A and B are shown apart, each in its own frame.
Chain A
Amino acid sequence: MELYMSITIGVLFTIGVYLLLSKSLLRIILGTSFLTHGVHLLLLTMSKLKTGAPPLLGEEAQSYTDPLPQALILTSIVISFGVTSFLLVLAYKSYQKLGTDDMEKLREDTE
């Protein structure tokens, strides 16, 4: 399972990076959410998958999955949601003001 998860993480990172390198602002923001997914899955995979019951003590199981990475991911999800929503509004405002969402056109004129 970890092998396939690793490959999936690789794919998510590839797509995320590819989208980040593109010109349109929309694609860049979509790219960040792929990167976020990749990181979250990576965190989860790093702590051994499927080693027991969900970390709820009421289950009274022999063993539980690692609760710490889950707590970390939960924090990360909320933070990345905050950042993404801010980015979205920023993109909206910058399109309103500048009339383009092409990152190459937003370049400062260096000549």
Chain B
Amino acid sequence: MSAIHVIITLPFLLAICIPLFKKVWPGIHMGWFMLPLPIALFAYLINLIPVVMGGGVFHYSLPWIPSLGVEFTVLLDGLSLLFGLLISGIGSLVVLYSVFYLDKQKENLARFYVYLMLFIGAMLGLVLSDNLMVLYGFWELTSISSFLLIAFWNKRERSRYGALKSLTITVCGGLAMFAGFVLLYIMTGTFSIKELIADFSAISGHDLFIPAMLLVLLGAFTKSAQFPFHIWLPDAMEAPTPVSAYLHSATMVKAGIYLVARLSPLFAGSSIWLWAVSGIGLLTLAYGSYRAIKQTDLKALLAFSTISQLGLIMSLFGIGSAAAFYVGTSQYEFFTIATAAAIFHLINHAVFKGALFMVVGIVDHGTGTRDIRKLGGLMAVMPVTFTIALLGSFSMAGIPPFGGFLSKEMFFTAMLNIREMSFASMDTWGALFPVVAWVASVFTFAYSLLVVFRTFGGKSQFHQLEKEPHEAPLGLLISPLVLASLVVVIGFFPNLLSHSLIEPAMAAVYPFGLQPNESFVVHIEMWHGFTTELFMTIGVAVIGIAIFFLHRRFAWVNEPMELNVSLNSLYDHSLKGLDSGASWFTRNYMTGSIRHYLIYIFLFLTAALGLNLFLAGDITLKMDDFAPISFYEAVIITALVLSAIAVPFVNSRLMAIILTGMSGYMVTLFFVIFRAPDLALTQMIVETVSVALFLLCFYHLPNLKKEVVKRKIKLWNIGIAVSVGVVMTLVSLSVSGSRKFDSISHFFIENSYKLAGGKNVVNVILVDFRGFDTLLEVVVLGIASFGIYALIKMRGEENALNSQ
């Protein structure tokens, strides 16, 4: 149990205490009790930065299920530390924001903070786990706590829909990832990420390498809302705004990116990984930014913007993995720039997107709507909020001097570098990458402008609003102000981050890239001369501004496209289809008719037995040692067969019963012929009693009607009955024709008198050698008689039930 184990468990412990706080101090906003914890975690992690900068890695193990190789191992290196800081830092700000955002009286705050603490703990556990199984456990816990938070206002139908959708998609991906982890375990025999990476040469040539990689990627893509699994994220915007800001922009959606970065040393040598991660990332980037322009709801716009930015980061990690092909050459560092850009943008995005969501929350609070068609001209009434929005959006658009500008330059550099690659068909297709990236950046620029100027600029139309707009209270503004100032600080002093966070994180992504005592040098400069990237950015700005001004005029261009290409309707329809397909299937075979069920049973019996007999070639018709047949036997057989065959044809119940009884007596005669005196006796008595019972009972039943059955049904019945009969005949023949080994009966015959003192061997077997059977057979008879008694006596009580 190390300090890192403790910091993972602390949020869970605090979550347990929340009902206590509620009881003891009901008057105080629950958020104040929560606030110290993420701040303390943040401070603790900040303290670790110098150690990690010096190349230190914390690695502690705690046995959990040692027999299965599952240990609660924590690993804290540059990458985990970066995510830990984001989680605890933005977590503190979000808790503070939610104290002022959520109403103490109207909302069930205890529930909200339990979920939120659960989420913080799960997320910390996710990024700090070294064991894949533990990581998976925390991964699913983030899905579940996110599900609970999205449906926080569970009285609303849209919230429940969004929560269910996000849970379905992320859990399906999570399960695929779980399968991928199991495959990794099969290949290496360990769940530890550290040991996996050390042993990666054992994996790279393995047959299961590509399936494991694709399954893990499926998990990462669903969690990080990559195309086409992004559809849950816009619907998750039904959550309270602090949740959207925290989970669906800064932390949880980056879990997939964390996984890609964490496992990139394992898979980076594969060109499929490079193409999948960077290709899907770029596709998501372009699609998300294109769709974002069309949204009218601010939160939906930011959701699509998150999707596209996540795609950007993902594609950068994909290109960064190309460095694995150049280990040891001078081009190595050339491609590591992409990873540096990815990590830098990851931080940037968490900061500005958190601020923007909080701004939207403030606007929603202050005006009562998030629809940009109704908003406008808020600049004058909400100056502080406007400033924050301006900083966030400009950083998002990539306008200097903010952090987003720098990461965009680095992004373009990485995209241009990809043309230098000479493998995985990158030299032919690589030219597409910068083009797509540039187009997506244009859209990004345009929607960033939309966020600010549609909301805060333009004419004011306050009469359309539900409330008189006003500036938010100070408490609500603190968190976005902190984030906005971070945007500026990162913009002006990017190298503060590069040494403390980015370089250690890169060391975690490229564990083999460094000689001992060497570290990556990332130097981010604001001005790097008149390069291609700069001209690309100027182009982005010019075209972006043009799109912004033409946006309203050309709105109709977008509409039909959106209707046709809707992944949501595909998702909804396939779920509905699955549902109705399953119920159609069940309705059609679970008919409620006993005849149908019997048909299934008999068909299966015939098929299974017949096929087996046929395939095994066991139908041996050896009749050599068959006993001869005598005249009397022939007569009995004929009588039995005739009486049996006659039963289905008679229409009087008495006749049917007598014929059945007759065949029973014929069976008795067989027992006589085949030297079974006890059987003959029992069969005779039982048959007599049965016939008497039949007669007694059916005296009360209606007369047997002639069965009016359709010809088709009758033919079916005959077919099935005959096939069962034929199969049973074949079974009987092949069993009696061949015997694999001798009977054990000579033991009974030899020892019946010696050991048990009886001369009737059958009776000795029944009560001595195998007396247990007889005991239970007696029990069966007893139960049957009790059952009959109960059935007959039941009437009175049933009437009492009916009368109730």
Are A and B part of the same complex?
A: yes
The reply to whether B728 and A13 contact each other, CB–CB distance below 8 Å, is yes
Interface residues of B in 663-683 (CB under 8 A from A): 663-664, 667, 670-671, 673-679, 682-683
A78 to B634 CA separation, bound complex (whole angstroms): 28
Q: Pick from B725, B735, B766 the residue with the most CB of A within 10 Å.
A: B725
**B628 within 8 Å of A (CB atoms):** yes
Q: Is the CB of A77 within 8 A of B683?
A: yes
A26, B724: Cβ atoms closer than 8 Å: no
What is the minimal beta-carbon distance from B800 to any residue of chain A, in angstroms?
Answer: 15
Bits for A50-86, please: 1 = Cβ < 8 Å to B, else 0.
Answer: 1111111110000011111011011101110111111
Task: Contacts A30-B656, A33-B664, A67-B745 given; indicate if A1 touches B633 (C-beta within 8 A).
Answer: yes
Structural contact, A89 and B623, CB atoms closer than 8 A: no
- The closest CB in chain B to the CB of A65 belongs to B675
Contact B648 A46 (CB under 8 A): no
What A residues does B736 contact at CB under 8 A?
A: 2, 5-6, 45-46, 48
Q: Which of A11, A54, A95, A110 makes the CB contact (< 8 A) with B676? A: A54
Known A1-B629, A14-B721; judge A19-B648 contact (CB<8 A): yes
A10 to B734, CA, bound (A): 13
- For B, the interface residue count at a CB cutoff of 8 angstroms equals 101
Contacts of A104 on B, CB cut-off 8 Å?
Answer: 593, 595
Which residue of chain A has the shortest Cβ distance to B744 in the bound complex? A68
The interface-forming segment of B446-454, B515-523, B692-700 is B692-700
A67-B748 contact in complex given A13-B724, A46-B736, A81-B686, C-beta closer than 8 Å: yes
Alpha-carbon distance A98/B629, docked complex (angstroms):
50
Q: Chain B contacts of A103 at CB under 8 A?
A: 593-595
B765 is an interface residue with CB less than 8 A from chain A: yes
A8-B640 CB under 8 A given contacts A23-B709, A30-B657, A42-B728:
yes
| In contact, A34 and B693 (Cβ under 8 angstroms) | no
Known contacts A4-B629, A6-B732, A92-B700: A110-B781 contact under CB 8 Å? no
Tell me if A's interface is mostly helix, strand, loop or mixed: helix
Contact with A along B726-756 (1 / 0, CB 8 A): 1011011101110100011100110011000
Question: What is the CA–CA distance of A34 and B748 in the complex, to the nearest angstrom?
Answer: 31
Nearest-Cβ distance from residue B165 to partner chain A, whole angstroms: 32
* Chain A interface, number of residues (Cβ within 8 angstroms): 85
B592–A52 CB distance below 8 A: no
With known contacts A55-B760, A67-B748, A81-B686, A86–B788 Cβ distance under 8 A = yes
Give chain B interface residues in 600-642, CB to chain A under 8 Å. 602, 623, 625-629, 633-634, 637, 640-641
Q: Is the CB of A50 within 8 A of B749?
A: no
Q: Are B705 and A24 in contact (CB under 8 A)?
A: yes
Instruction: Check if B796 is an interface residue, CB within 8 A of chain A.
Output: no
Q: How near does chain B come to A28, taking the closest CB pair, in angstroms?
A: 8
CB distance from A16 to the nearest CB of B (A): 8
Minimum Cβ distance to chain B for residue A46 (Å):
5
Instruction: Given A46-B732, A70-B676, A81-B686, answer yes or no on A21-B595 (Cβ-Cβ < 8 Å).
Output: yes
Residues in A with CB closer than 8 Å to B698 are 26
Alpha-carbon separation in the docked complex, A5 to B670 (Å)? 10
Minimum C-beta distance from A52 to chain B (A): 7
Tell me the minimal C-beta distance from A75 to chain B in angstroms: 5
Task: Enumerate chain B residues within 8 angstroms of A50, measured Cβ to Cβ.
Answer: 627, 673-675
Partner of B704, one of A11, A26, A70: A26
9-residue interface stretch from B239-247, B485-493, B772-780: B772-780
Given A1-B627, A55-B762, verify A95-B700 contact (CB < 8 Å). yes
Q: How far is the CB of A107 from chain B (nearest CB, A)?
A: 4
B682 touches A78 (CB 8 A): yes
CB distance from A80 to the nearest CB of B (A): 8
Interface residue? B432 (CB, 8 A):
no
Given that A44-B674, A84-B690 are contacting pairs, would A6 and B721 also be in contact in the complex, using a CB cutoff of 8 Å? no
Residue of B641, B682, B732, B787 with most partner-chain A CB within 10 A:
B732
B-contact bits for A30-47, CB 8 A (1 contact / 0 none): 100110011011101111
Kindly provide the distance from the CB of A19 to the nearest chain B CB, expressed in whole angstroms.
Answer: 6
Residue of B nearest to A17 (CB): B721
Q: Is B644 an interface residue (CB 8 A)?
A: yes
Bound Cα distance A47, B762 (Å): 15
Contact B777 A9 (CB under 8 A): no
B197 is an interface residue with CB less than 8 A from chain A:
no
List of B residues within 8 angstroms of A19 by Cβ: 647-648
A41-B667, A83-B784 known; 10 other A-B pairs, CB under 8 Å? A11-B725, A19-B647, A50-B675, A64-B745, A78-B780, A81-B686, A83-B780, A85-B693, A86-B791, A93-B794
A-B contact pairs, 26 of them (CB 8 A): A2-B627, A6-B729, A7-B641, A10-B725, A11-B725, A14-B724, A15-B647, A17-B720, A17-B721, A20-B598, A21-B599, A24-B704, A44-B671, A44-B674, A49-B674, A55-B761, A64-B675, A77-B682, A78-B780, A84-B693, A88-B693, A89-B697, A93-B791, A95-B701, A107-B591, A110-B590
Residues of A within 8 A of B (CB): 1-15, 17-27, 29-30, 33-34, 37-38, 40-42, 44-58, 64-68, 70-71, 73-75, 77-79, 81-86, 88-93, 95-96, 101, 103-104, 106-110
Chain B residues packing against A (C-beta within 8 Å): 587, 590-595, 598-599, 602, 623, 625-629, 633-634, 637, 640-641, 644-645, 647-648, 653, 656-657, 660, 663-664, 667, 670-671, 673-679, 682-683, 686, 689-690, 693-694, 697-698, 700-702, 704-705, 707, 709, 717-718, 720-722, 724-726, 728-729, 731-733, 735-737, 739, 743-745, 748-749, 752-753, 759-762, 765-766, 770, 773-774, 777, 780-781, 783-785, 787-788, 791-792, 794
Task: Return the 7 tightest CB-CB contacts between A and B, nearest first.
Answer: A14-B725, A10-B729, A82-B784, A18-B721, A57-B759, A55-B761, A6-B732
